[in-house]
Structure 1
Amino acid sequence: MTNEPTNSVRVWLVERTYSDDEQNLIILTYATPDGKQYYRKERALTSFTDVRDTTAAVDAEHDNLGSVDDPEQQEQYAAEAQRMRDRHDPDDTI
């Protein structure tokens, strides 16, 4: 087994929203600690018994990260990512 370099970065949960339409989607937004990049994860709720844990952090591939261009949103994401890092271990269920 080799220790190849990974192309992933740890991102922290900064926002959880629910879709406004009929698709029953939960949108999880994770961001880098500096707030400059984000990773978006969508989950469809198929039933009330459909339980999947949401963790404080995930490791996302660099290619799956988007850029946060708005300086205010960068600041907001950075502050929330820091808050999550201070209060939770990456695998904590949120």
Structure 2
Amino acid sequence: MSADSESEATTRVWLVERTYSDDEQNIIILVYATPDGSQYLRKERSLTSFSDVRDTTAALDTDADHLGTVEDDETRARYADAVAEMRAAHAPDDVV
């Protein structure tokens, strides 16, 4: 596979939400979205101890097949606004 075809399959998504699960203790839910807010990537992290430190970056490059579709217009607009703010304030690899 050439570098060009790899980049076509990869999509940059930006952090738009960070929440803590109500159902499970020590679960952090990260939501990243595309700049137009139409697609998202949800990641769940389990923190096993207070010393369990893993960086969260402002953006990720992910396989386009891993993205879900945002169906709700209000959520799509909220994600797009959050991406615009994150892009204005941070480089993709900034720890946030």
Please, what TM-score do these two structures have when normalized by structure 1? 0.94
Q: How big is the alpha-carbon RMSD for the aligned residues of Structure 1 and Structure 2?
A: 1.4
Distance 1:4 1:10 in 2: 15
Please, what TM-score do these two structures have when normalized by structure 2? 0.92
Alignment equivalent of 1:25, drawn from 10, 24, 27: 27
Distance 2:4 2:35 in 1: 24
Distance 1:22 1:12 in 2: 25
Deviates more, 1:46-55 or 1:3-12: 3-12
- CA drift of 1:24 comes to 1.6
The residue correspondences of 1:20-59 to structure 2 (distance < 5 A) are: 20-59=22-61
Counterpart of 1:75 in structure 2 is 77
Superposed structure 1 runs of 4+ greater than 4 Å apart = none
Instruction: Structure 1: state its 5+ residue gaps.
Output: none
Aligned residues: 94
Aligned amino acid, residue 60 of structure 2: V
Distance 2:91 2:35 in 1: 14
Aligned amino acid, residue 69 of structure 2: S
**Identity level (%):** 61
Instruction: Structure 2: state its 5+ residue gaps.
Output: none
Aligned amino acid, residue 5 of structure 1: S
Counterpart of 1:5 in structure 2 is 5
